[in-house]
Structure 1
Amino acid sequence: MNRITQLAAVSASFALVACGSAQDPDKRAPGQWETSISLNKLELSGMPPEMQGQVDQMKEQMRSSIERMGGAQTQCLTAEASEKEDVVEGFSKMAGTGCEFTKQDVGGGKIDVAGKCNMGGQEMDVTMVGTMTPEKIQMVSTMKSEAETSGVMQKPGLDMEMTTDVVRTGDC
C-alpha cells in the first residue's frame, strides 16, 4: 500500500511543479490552486488463490488511501513562488523517490513522462501524460508492475491509473 501512496504523491507533486507564471504557457499563474486525484483503475494480480482475501484487503486499503489523499487540496501560489517553479527541479525531487525517467517531454502545454520507479523493492513502469496551461493541469498517471511470488515476501502485480487535476480557482 505504501508504494501506491508514494506514487500518488509523486504524481501530484509533479503536476504542481510542471507549471509556473502567466507569461509562460508552461508555468502556473499565481493564485489559489486546487488539486484533486481520482483513481480510475486498480488491479492486483499474480497471487495464489488462497491469498485472495489478503489481496482484496490490500486493494481496499490502497483505494482508501488514494481516496483520502485525493480529496481536494488547496495551495496559494504567490507570484514569487510561481516564478521559481521549475520542471527540472521537480524531476530531481522525484529521482529521490527511487524513480529514473527515460522520457521527459514537458513543455508546449504537454506533459509526457515515462520511466521506472523502485518502490519497496519492486520495480514499476510509470507514465504521466497530460496537458497544462497557466490555469489548469490535467495528467493521467499509470503504474504497472509484475507479481513477485518467489521468496518469503510475495508482492502482487499492479495495474493502476489515476487522474490528477490541478485548477486555478482565483486569487489567494
Structure 2
Amino acid sequence: MRHLVLPAVTVAALSLGLAACNDRKVEATNEKPSAVASKVAAAGGDSVRLNPGRWETRIRMVKMEIEGMPPEAKKAMGDMMGKERTVTSCLTREQAEKPDAKFFGQADEACTYDRFSMGGGTIDSKMTCKHEGGQQTMTMHGTYGGDSYATSMEMQGQGPMGKAMSMQMELSAKRAGDCTGKEDG
C-alpha cells in the first residue's frame, strides 16, 4: 500500500486497522489522529482492535483522475483500473493492543478527522489532510470484524503541482495466519 500515489490514502486505510467484537462505539469530531488513537485505547479490551497476525489486503483502484494528466499517463492509469493488487503486513500483538497516532493518520498530524465513527461492525469517517501541495479530503465507509474488513474510500483534493485529483478505491483484508517475516510492510 505504501506505493500508492498519495500516502494520505494509505493513512485512511490504516485507520481501519481496527475491529470490534461487541457494540462499543468510538466516535470523534474534528480531532487529530492521536486523539482518535487515545479514544480507541480507552475503549480497551478486545472491543476495538484487529487480531494480530499476518494480514492480506486486496486493493482495487476504481477511479483515478488528475487534472491535466498526459495522455500516456492517463492510458497507463486506465490499464490499472479494476485490477486487484494484494499486499501483506504483520500486525504485532503490541500494535493491536496499543494503536498509536501513526496507526490512525500521519505522524506529523497534518490530518484531522472531521468525523470518525466505528462500532457495531461498521466504520464511517471523513478526514482532511493539509500539506504544502494542497488539501485532500477522504471518506471511508465499510464493515469490519476481528479477522477481516471491507471498505470503500474516496479522495478529492489536489495532487502533484496543485492539480485537481479524484480517486476511488476498494480494500478488503483478512487475517491469514501468523506473521512469517516475509510481509511487504
State the TM-score, normalizing by the size of structure 1.
0.67
**1:77 pairs with 2:79:** no
Q: Distance in 2 between matches of 1:154 and 1:29?
A: 40
Partner of 2:175: 168
For 1:96-154, what per-residue CA distance to the aligned partner results, in whole angstroms no more than 9, with x for missing partners?
2622221111222221111322245222221111111001011111111279xxxxx96
Partner of 1:19: 19
**Range 2-11 or range 161-170, more displaced:** 2-11
Q: Describe the shift of the 1:38–1:3 C-alpha distance in structure 2 as closer, same or farther (beyond 3 A).
A: closer
Structure 1 position 7, deviation (Å)? 2.5
Q: Work out which of the residue numbers 155, 162, 166 in structure 2 matches 1:143.
A: 155
Q: Describe the shift of the 1:135–1:159 C-alpha distance in structure 2 as closer, same or farther (beyond 3 A).
A: same
Partner of 2:41: none
Question: Does the aligned pair in 2 maintain the 1:146–1:157 contact within 8 Å?
Answer: yes
Partner of 2:128: 116
- Secondary structure at the residue paired with 1:71? strand
**Range 126-135 or range 113-122, more displaced:** 113-122
Q: Distance in 1 between matches of 2:143 and 2:11?
A: 17
Q: Distance in 1 between matches of 2:171 and 2:108?
A: 21
Higher helix share: 1
Q: Distance in 2 between matches of 1:155 and 1:162?
A: 21
Counting matched residue pairs gives 155
Q: Describe the shift of the 1:76–1:159 C-alpha distance in structure 2 as closer, same or farther (beyond 3 A).
A: closer
Q: Describe the shift of the 1:139–1:98 C-alpha distance in structure 2 as closer, same or farther (beyond 3 A).
A: same
| Rg larger in structure | 1
Q: Distance in 1 between matches of 2:14 and 2:165?
A: 21
Structure 1 position 12, deviation (Å)? 3.2
State the TM-score, normalizing by the size of structure 2.
0.64
For residue 134 of structure 1, what is the amino acid of its counterpart? G
Q: Describe the shift of the 1:44–1:108 C-alpha distance in structure 2 as closer, same or farther (beyond 3 A).
A: same
- Secondary structure at the residue paired with 2:5? helix
In the alignment, structure 2 segments of 5+ residues that lack a partner are: 23-44, 180-185
Question: Does the aligned pair in 2 maintain the 1:4–1:62 contact within 8 Å?
Answer: no
CA RMSD of aligned residues (A): 3.7
**1:94 pairs with 2:106:** yes
In the alignment, structure 1 segments of 5+ residues that lack a partner are: 48-53, 148-152
**1:7 pairs with 2:8:** yes
Structure 1 position 85, deviation (Å)? 3.0
Q: Describe the shift of the 1:5–1:123 C-alpha distance in structure 2 as closer, same or farther (beyond 3 A).
A: closer
Identity %: 27
